[in-house]
Structure formats: C-alpha cells, structure tokens
Amino acid sequence: MRPSCPLCGSEAGLAFTKLGFDYYRCPCAFVFIWPRPSGDQLLEIYLRDGQEYWTTEAMMRFAFSPTKSSREIAFLRRFRSSGRLLDSANGGVQAIDRNN
Ligand SMILES: [Zn+2]
C-alpha cells in the first residue's frame, strides 16, 4: 500500500530508505517517512541523535561556528530562486539568526 501525502493527499512513491526508515516522495515534492515512527521511536531518535550527539563540546563548537553558518548560507543562496527561507524545525537556527 502506498501512503497518501500528509500535505496534499496524493499517492506517494518510495524515494529511498535510510537508517531503517522508508522515505516517500509525493508528486507535490514533499518527502516524508512512512510508516510514521511511534512516539517511543521518536523519543529514542531525538535522544540518540539530538541530546547525545549535539551536546558534545566538539559538536557544539562545530554547530555554532560562524564559518559553518556562512558556508550554509552560501550553499542555500546557490539554489534559491528568490524570496525568503522558511526553516521548519530543522535543527539549529544559527543560520537564520545570522540573516534574520
Ligand atoms: Zn503532496
């Protein structure tokens, strides 16, 4: 059974599998994991990949480095068509803070 897109309701097709999760791509371009991880799985993922990963001293220096933010902003500018950027709960906000 192919899942329906949570944004538009169209039928989505398998795009790729990563770390044991199947990612589906909708004709509207939205990509999402299906089946959706349970609450317990999400908690485990956030603890493992969030709290335990992002709080090491080396990672904190890397993640909040102005050099890293500048590289990310330059990368985004290469692919934007125009307008403003909306980053929806996608990790650190240092790049957005740097450019409003
Ligand atoms: Zn869609």
Could you report the average pLDDT of every consecutive run of 10 residues in the chain (100 residues)? 94 94 95 94 85 82 85 83 67 50
Give, for 58, the enclosing helix (H) or strand (E).
helix 57-63
Span from the CA of 59 to the centroid of ligand 1 (angstroms): 35
Nearest to 62 by CA among 99, 96, 94, 87: 94
Write down the pTM of the prediction.
0.55
* pLDDT value of position 87: 63
Give, for 21, the enclosing helix (H) or strand (E).
strand 21-25
Number of C-beta neighbours around residue 10 at 10 A: 12
Span from the CA of 85 to the centroid of ligand 1 (angstroms): 20
Cα atoms in the Cβ-side hemisphere of radius 13 Å centred on 53: 10
Span from the CA of 8 to the centroid of ligand 1 (angstroms): 4
Provide the token pair at 42.
């999400």
